[in-house]
């Protein structure tokens, strides 16, 4: 387990949060990570349910996504990591 994951779990346990999420950007391989604030969250760590509420208006179902982005049915989406 990485140090970052352990730190997030420690904060989650300390403050009684459920699952947390954070936005992280790495400009290029090997460069330092940049932790980004999430608009609507009180800190860099955002409660997962709060995050889902914040981004829900931007989510597309798969059929709409395929139509809007021009991806045909022959493109297989592996959703095993999110199911």
Question: What pTM does this model have?
Answer: 0.52
pLDDT in tens, 11-56: 655 555 567 778 889 999 999 999 989 889 888 888 888 888 998 8
Q: Which of 37, 41, 42 is nearest to 51 (CA)?
A: 41
pLDDT in tens, 51-72: 889 988 888 888 898 888 887 7
């Amino acid at each position: 387990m990485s140090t970052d994951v352990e730190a997030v779990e420690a904060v989650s346990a300390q403050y009684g949060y459920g699952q947390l999420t954070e936005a992280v950007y790495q400009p290029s391989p090997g460069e330092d990570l940049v932790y980004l604030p999430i608009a609507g969250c009180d800190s860099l760590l955002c409660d997962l349910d709060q995050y889902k509420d914040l981004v829900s208006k931007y989510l597309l179902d798969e059929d709409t996504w395929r139509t809007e982005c021009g991806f045909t049915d022959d493109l297989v989406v592996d959703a095993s990591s999110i199911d």
